[in-house]
Structure 1
Amino acid sequence: MSRESCKECCTEEFHPRNFSLSHENPQLFVTAQGGFGIAYVIYRVIWALFHVTWIILSGVIPYSWYSSESNRIKWFIYLTNWSYLILTVSAIIQAAVAISHYVKRRKHDGVSNHAMTWYLKMAWVIYNISSNAAIVVAALYWGLRIPPKLAAGGEIHYMDVGTHLGNAIYVLSDIFITATPVRIYHFLHSSLYAIVYLIFSVVYDVLKGTNAVEGSYIYPQLDWDVPGTAAIYAVLVALVAVPLVQCVLYGLYRLRLALYGCCCPRSVGEFNTESSTKQEFQLV
């Protein structure tokens, strides 16, 4: 890519309109980067079923994350589980829109529609949040939670690996398959999600809620009895880590376009330009 092209790309990316959920090529949200096909639909369905199965198992398989049977309900207080639940919802929605698009495209034989529907916008927001959260959660878990656990002689359960590493691997690999675009400004969706969770953690702490092993906090880093330390972690996650991860995801998205541009220039031209008029599909 030339210096002029790179400059043009950066200018386009940071245009104020990229705060919005508008897009001139809705087909990017229902297909793979390389184009249409039943293989992508099957791919989406398999992952949706996998994530649904895994999230159920993470709550019902007995291991050391809780201290008593009554504490199983506290599965719902953890950021990890919030984030994996959103990832699962995203996978289900992506499977649904892929199936719907595939059926409508066959039924209507390629009728064009240039509008972003409300459900594609919703799918994009949830995709943004789930992708960003998966990376942030994995980084926080392996960087902050695992070292003390191993130092204390604890063991890493395979469910922990799946929910704190498998999710990140899925997101990083999926970004090279899906045609869904990534925008830097959309870190706002994930930052808002992080802020909502932080507010929940404060309220939970004020109400004297305990974690699944009867600790007086959800996470030691978010012990609001020590507000200074908790506030520092909160700011670092919501306003530093989330935007940085969004930049990483955007970089991988641009790398995907470059790779497909080298290998399949025609498909990139048709399926990834924001101003493309070659939209052979129907979404309404």
Structure 2
Amino acid sequence: MKLPRLDLSMQKKSCRPVMLGRMWQASRRALRLDHSPPHQFACCQWQNGHKPSTGYLIYRWLVFLTVICIGVASFACQRLPRRYEGPPVKINYFKWFIYFTNWGFMLIAIQSGLALAVVHRYRKKAYNFSYEEDDVLTPRRSATPLLCRMYWLSHNVATDLAFVITLIYWTLVYDPKLHDINALNLLVHGGNSLLMVCELFVTAHPLRAAHALYGSAVGLAYGVFSAIYWALGGTDRFNLPAIYPSLNWDKPGPAFGFVAVCAMVLMFVHGCATCLVALRLRLAARLRPTRVQSEHLTLPTH
């Protein structure tokens, strides 16, 4: 009796859609802003217990107030550089909003405000944090609150933009004749990255590699905004047609190239941020093994 031959070519064809479907589903899960347990968005990596500590609440208030004060000072203290030798220019304060640096700083302010709101939410309401012990035996994924999703998204984007802004400003944009080196300039072009590094080591929530796409999307959105602003006749604070010399849409080829490079750098710096979070978890595993072990018993991040 002869056994029927299997058509291997048909099997391969049928497997390909299944594999592509699984890859698509895995990509969608990685991009989602879902994480369990959600209380990690309200806690510090180095605290005890699952309820936000008083020390972390004070830290969140200090960060929020400091960022707001620096942002207000950056907007209100606009002036021409001391070494500026061009024609007289009347300062337009609302042009503060056209610069990528200030986009990034506004996102830092937004994420610090949302982080503070998340901490107050988990401290104000009587949440039952003991459910995780039962979840070890009967896992149940709790829904991630919208407030936590918004905070996580803004934190991801603000971190990527801060690193890129510091890198690009001091390598490509800074001009001694157009920019003064003072405390405010150092805070918005260097203190932003230092703050986000501190945030990566203090917070308890994870950082996913796939979320690099969100930061790159914001970078591309700024490139589109700068092109529209240029097409409508907008100028920078010195009345020049380009917001940044490297983003001059009078020369579309180099401008497109600059936007593409920035998008790739955003993905690279997100990878660096992910490595910093991995380092934080490794340090926590050595210094606080009991707490980290209990967190590992909870559901996976995606």
Indicate which of 154, 158, 169 corresponds to 1:130: 158
Comparing 23-32 and 62-71, the one that deviates more:
62-71
The answer for unaligned runs of 5 or more in structure 1 is 1-14, 277-284
1:260-271 equivalent positions in 2, closer than 5 A: 260-271=284-295
1:57 CA displacement: 0.5
1:27 CA displacement: 1.4
Q: Percent identity?
A: 28
**Matches of 1:70 and 1:138 in 2, distance apart?**
24
1:18 CA displacement: 1.5
2:212 matched to which residue of 1?
187
1:272 CA displacement: 5.8
1:200 matched to which residue of 2?
225
**Matches of 1:274 and 1:187 in 2, distance apart?**
25
- CA gap of 1:235–1:62, structure 2 versus 1, over 3 A, is closer
Equivalent pairs, count: 256
CA contact under 8 A between 1:182 and 1:253: conserved in structure 2? yes
CA contact under 8 A between 1:33 and 1:272: conserved in structure 2? no
2:234 matched to which residue of 1?
209
**Matches of 1:274 and 1:140 in 2, distance apart?**
40
- CA gap of 1:158–1:120, structure 2 versus 1, over 3 A, is same
Indicate which of 100, 105, 125 corresponds to 1:79: 100
* Larger-Rg structure: 2
Indicate which of 74, 81, 95 corresponds to 1:58: 74
1:180 CA displacement: 1.9
TM-score by length of 2: 0.80
| RMSD of aligned Cα (Å) | 2.0
- Runs of 4+ aligned structure 1 residues displaced above 3 Å come to 65-70, 107-113, 152-155, 271-274
CA contact under 8 A between 2:233 and 2:241: conserved in structure 1? yes
**Matches of 1:70 and 1:50 in 2, distance apart?**
25
**Matches of 2:179 and 2:67 in 1, distance apart?**
26
The answer for unaligned runs of 5 or more in structure 2 is 1-25, 132-140
Structure having greater relative contact order (Cα 8 Å, sep ≥ 6): 1
2:171 matched to which residue of 1?
143
**Matches of 2:282 and 2:220 in 1, distance apart?**
34
1:166-181 equivalent positions in 2, closer than 5 A: 166-181=191-206
CA contact under 8 A between 2:114 and 2:151: conserved in structure 1? yes
2:45 matched to which residue of 1?
33
